Amino acid sequence: MSTPQQDFQKFLDLQRSDYARALPEKMAQVHALWRAVTAGGEAAQPLTELERLGHTLAGTAGTLGFHEVGRAAKALELLLQQVGPAGPALAPAQRSAIGSTIAALQASLPPVN
């Protein structure tokens, strides 16, 4: 018979495993939103969604022990908060910084098993 702590650890391990499998799809969402921003159309909504996704990734990743992902997602969230809903008015330096931060987030993902 297992203890409540062992049961919780099994639950947590399952959550971590499920989350790790979901990370590539979440990263695909990040890339899709960034493409929408850089496409030159209305960018305020995709930027807002990208910031929200960064916030969610930062919180969940950190909670489940994916600390590198959490830090990279938090960096994206904070950068997007600074930029605000600038949309097409993003300066080249802002676009570059966001693109680099997204690349760092991609690099922080654990290898897919």
The answer to the question of residue 113 being in a domain is no
pLDDT at 108 over 60: yes
For range 1-28, the mean pLDDT: 94
pLDDT at 113 over 80: no
pLDDT at 43 over 90: no
The whole-number pLDDT of residue 45 equals: 86
Query: In this predicted model, what pLDDT tens digit does every residue of 51-107 receive, in sequence order?
Result: 999 999 999 999 999 999 999 999 999 999 988 766 557 888 999 999 999 999 999
The answer to the question of residue 22 being in a domain is yes
The answer to the question of residue 86 being in a domain is yes
Domain that residue 13 falls in: 4-108
The answer to the question of residue 102 being in a domain is yes
The answer to the question of residue 80 being in a domain is yes
CB 35 within 8 A of CB 29: no
The answer to the question of residue 68 being in a domain is yes
Number of domains in the chain: 1
The answer to the question of residue 51 being in a domain is yes
Host H or E run for residue 48: helix 44-63
The whole-number pLDDT of residue 87 equals: 56
The whole-number pLDDT of residue 86 equals: 60
3-state secondary structure of 17: helix
For range 14-24, the mean pLDDT: 95
The whole-number pLDDT of residue 64 equals: 95
The whole-number pLDDT of residue 25 equals: 97
The whole-number pLDDT of residue 37 equals: 87
Burial class (CB in 10 A: 0-12, 13-18, 19+), 106: middle
The answer to the question of residue 12 being in a domain is yes
d(Cα 2, Cα 13) in Å, to the nearest integer?
15
CATH classification at residue 53: 1.20.120
